Copies of this chain bind each other. A is one copy, B any other.
Amino acid sequence: MDVQLTVTGLLDRAVDLFPDREIVTKRPDGSLHRYTYADAHARICRLAHALDDLGVERGERVATVAANDYRHLELYFAPPCSGRSIHMCNMRLPDEHFQYIVNDAEDRVLFVDPAFVEKVEANADAFETVERYVVLADEVPETSLDPVIAYEDLVADYPTEYDWPEVDERDECGMCYTSGTTGKPKGVAYTHRAVYLHSLMCGHVDTNGVSESDVVLPVVPMFHANGWGLPYAATLVGAKQVLPGVHTDPGSVAELIADEEVTVSAAVPTIWLEMAEYLDEHPEVDISNIDRLTVGGSAPPESLIRRYDERYDAPIIQGWGMTETTPLATLSTLRKELRDLPAEERYRYRATAGMPVPGIEVRIRDEDGEASPDASERSSGRRARDGNDVPRDGESMGDLQVRGPWVVGEYHNRPDANRESFTEDGWLRTGDIATMDEHGYVDVKDRTKDVIKSGGEWISSVELENELMAHDAVAEATVIAVDHEKWQERPLACVVLREGADASADELREHLAERFPSWWLPDAIEFLDAIPRTSTGKFNKRVLREQYDDVVLEGEREEA
Q: How far is the CA of A201 from the CA of B404 in the complex (A)?
A: 17
Contact partner of A16 among B197, B210, B212, B361, CB < 8 A?
B361
When each residue 404-448 of chain A gets 1 if its CB lies under 8 Å from chain B and 0 otherwise, what string results?
Answer: 110111000000000000000010100000000001100000000
CB-CB nearest in chain B for A407: B1
Assess A405 versus B358: contact at CB under 8 Å? Given A205-B205, A440-B17.
no
Looking at the assembled complex, report how far the CB atom of A16 sits from the nearest CB atom of chain B, in whole angstroms.
7
Additional A-B contacts beyond A200-B204, A213-B335 (5; CB < 8 A): A1-B403, A16-B440, A203-B205, A204-B204, A206-B212
Q: How far is the CA of A26 from the CA of B345 in the complex (A)?
A: 36
The prevalent SS among residues of A at the interface is: loop
- The interface size bin for chain A is 35 or more
Q: Is A211 an interface residue (CB 8 A)?
A: yes
Q: How far is the CA of A201 from the CA of B358 in the complex (A)?
A: 11
Q: Are B404 and A3 in touch, CB under 8 angstroms?
A: yes
Q: Are B335 and A212 in touch, CB under 8 angstroms?
A: yes
Q: Is A152 an interface residue (CB 8 A)?
A: no
30 CB contacts below 8 A, A to B, read A1-B403, A1-B405, A1-B407, A1-B426, A3-B403, A3-B405, A5-B405, A9-B359, A13-B356, A13-B361, A16-B361, A16-B385, A16-B440, A17-B356, A17-B439, A197-B200, A200-B200, A200-B358, A200-B359, A203-B204, A203-B206, A204-B204, A204-B205, A205-B210, A205-B211, A206-B212, A206-B237, A213-B336, A236-B358, A237-B358
Q: How many copies of this chain are found per oligomer?
A: 2
Chain A 187-211 interface residues, beta-carbon cutoff 8 Å to B: 197, 200-201, 203-206, 209-211
Q: Is A355 an interface residue (CB 8 A)?
A: yes
Q: Are B409 and A2 in touch, CB under 8 angstroms?
A: yes
Q: How far is the CA of A522 from the CA of B361 in the complex (A)?
A: 61
Q: Is A465 an interface residue (CB 8 A)?
A: no
Contacts of A356 in B (CB 8 A): 13, 17
Looking at the assembled complex, report how far the CB atom of A446 sits from the nearest CB atom of chain B, in whole angstroms.
24
Chain A 324-362 interface residues, beta-carbon cutoff 8 Å to B: 335-336, 339, 355-356, 358-359, 361
Contacts of A405 in B (CB 8 A): 1, 3, 5
CB-CB nearest in chain B for A440: B17
Contacts of A209 in B (CB 8 A): 205, 209
Contacts of A3 in B (CB 8 A): 403-405, 407
Contacts of A213 in B (CB 8 A): 335-336, 339
Q: Are A361 and B440 in touch, CB under 8 angstroms?
A: no
Q: Is A313 an interface residue (CB 8 A)?
A: no
Q: Which of A206, A212, A359, A439 has the most chain B CB atoms closer than 10 A to its own CB?
A: A206
Q: How far is the CA of A408 from the CA of B2 in the complex (A)?
A: 9
Q: Is A12 an interface residue (CB 8 A)?
A: yes
Q: Are A1 and B359 in touch, CB under 8 angstroms?
A: no
Q: Are A206 and B211 in touch, CB under 8 angstroms?
A: yes
Contacts of A197 in B (CB 8 A): 200
Q: How far is the CA of A339 from the CA of B405 in the complex (A)?
A: 36
Contacts of A358 in B (CB 8 A): 13, 200, 203, 236-237
Q: How far is the CA of A147 from the CA of B514 in the complex (A)?
A: 70
When each residue 164-205 of chain A gets 1 if its CB lies under 8 Å from chain B and 0 otherwise, what string results?
Answer: 000000000000000000000000000000000100110111
Chain A 205-244 interface residues, beta-carbon cutoff 8 Å to B: 205-206, 209-213, 236-237
CB-CB nearest in chain B for A213: B336
Q: How far is the CA of A3 from the CA of B236 in the complex (A)?
A: 22
Q: How far is the CA of A5 from the CA of B196 in the complex (A)?
A: 13
Contacts of A426 in B (CB 8 A): 1
Q: Are A355 and B17 in touch, CB under 8 angstroms?
A: yes
Q: Are A409 and B16 in touch, CB under 8 angstroms?
A: no
